[in-house]
Amino acid sequence: MPDNDLHSRDDWPAGRVLVQAATYNERENIEHLIDAVLACSPDVQLLIVDDDSPDGTGQIARERAGREPRLHVLVRRGRRGLGSAILEGFRLARSRGFEVSVNMDADFSHDPADIPRLLAALEPVAGKPADVAIGSRRVPGGRTVGWPLSRHIASWLVCWFTRWVLWVPARDSSGGFRAVRLSIFDTISQEPFAQGYAFQEDFLWRVHRAGGRIVEVPITFTDRTRGTSKADFAESKRSIGELLKLARVTWLGK
């Protein structure tokens, strides 16, 4: 990890569940998010992985972390990318001995009140625990509110591709609200991961190929009302390239 990254206090309480949210320019959302996540259960801790947001999101989170032992902040310097931020959050969670990580966006598209349902979905059914529980918009009871048609179409295409070209048995493979059993990292491929938004599909693809179990829990995804989306044209282009790479490995083995 580069030396100029900023870490909040080093004395983390022991815990089982670490919620993590990657942030880039989320100053309108960050304080509400911290309050809502920490309120959802006294047992969870929260990690913010910020990529040195020019709007000061990281600084706001660091100030809160100084007063709140269940809040941790990593401000990365000199790197960008949603996927790489999430992966770094997973690594930190594992190194601190957490069993489960919940990933979510910081813009309230994912409702912190749904976290307990995601955690419950990891528990064994007929003796079989799940490795990943996806907060899903594409199973009965799930839905997306507030998106323009263009976002619905793009999301549908990515989910279709992941299911029928990459053979990942999930309906909402692009959603970023998930509970993950961290032991799955002992079995999945450690080849370099997609660094951008395609991390979400890439991760599920590896879990499935390693024999991991994926389940889906219905959620309502509500488009953000504060701040702006970072899913721009450059990011879409990068994601398409990364998905095509996965298709090549799926079908040609290299």
Ligand X SMILES: Nc1nc2c(ncn2[C@@H]2O[C@H](COP(=O)(O)OP(=O)(O)O)[C@@H](O)[C@H]2O)c(=O)[nH]1
Name the residues that contact Mg ion, by CB under 5 A: 105, 107, 109, 224
Tokens of 249: 């490995």
| Residue 133 found at the interface with ligand X (CB under 6 A) | no
Q: What is the CB-side half-sphere exposure of residue 245 using CA atoms within 13 A?
A: 15
Nearer to Mg ion, 36 or 210 (CB): 36
Question: In sequence order, what are the residues at sequence separation of 6 or more whose Cβ sits closer than 8 angstroms to the Cβ of residue 67?
Answer: none
Cβ-proximal residues to 175 (8 Å cutoff; 6+ apart), any chain: 134, 135, 136, 137, 200, 219, 221
The yes or no reply on residue 49 touching ligand X (CB under 6 A) is yes
Q: Which does 85 bind (CB under 5 to 8 A by kind): ligand X, Mg ion, none?
A: ligand X
Question: Which of residues 102, 107, 119, 142 is near ligand X by CB under 6 A?
Answer: 107
Q: Exposed, middle or buried by CB within 10 Å (0-12, 13-18, 19+), for 44?
A: buried
Find the part of the chain contacting ligand X (CB under 6 A) among 3-11, 75-83, 95-103, 135-143.
Answer: 75-83
Which conformational region is residue 106 in: left (phi greater than 0), alpha (psi within -120 to 50 degrees), or beta? alpha
Binding ligand X by CB under 6 A: which of 8, 38, 47, 51?
51
Residues with Cβ within 8 Å of 215's Cβ and at least 6 positions away in sequence, in order, are 121, 122, 130, 132, 133, 134
- Paired tokens of 150: 């263009």
Q: Which does 177 bind (CB under 5 to 8 A by kind): ligand X, Mg ion, none?
A: none
Which C-beta is closer to ligand X: that of 138 or that of 213? Answer: 138
Q: Is 82 in the site for ligand X (CB under 6 A)?
A: yes
Give the whole-angstrom CA distance, residue 88 versus residue 179: 16
Q: How far is the CB of 176 from Mg ion (least distance, A)?
A: 8
Q: Which is nearer to ligand X, 50 or 216 (CB)?
A: 50
In 10 A of CB 139, how many CB atoms? 15
The smaller minimum CB distance to ligand X, of residues 83 and 212, is found at 83
Backbone angles phi, psi at 103, to 5 degrees: -100, 140
Q: How far is the CB of 87 from ligand X (least distance, A)?
A: 11
Cα radius of gyration (the chain): 17
Q: Does 202 bind ligand X (CB under 6 A)?
A: no
Q: Which is nearer to Mg ion, 143 or 248 (CB)?
A: 143
Q: By CB under 6 A, is residue 81 in contact with ligand X?
A: yes
Are 109 and 175 contacting, i.e. CB atoms less than 8 angstroms apart?
A: no
Restricted to residues 151-190, the positions that interact with ligand X (CB under 6 A) are none
Residues in the site for ligand X, rule: CB under 6 A? Answer: 21-24, 26, 49-51, 80-82, 85, 105-107, 109, 224, 229-231
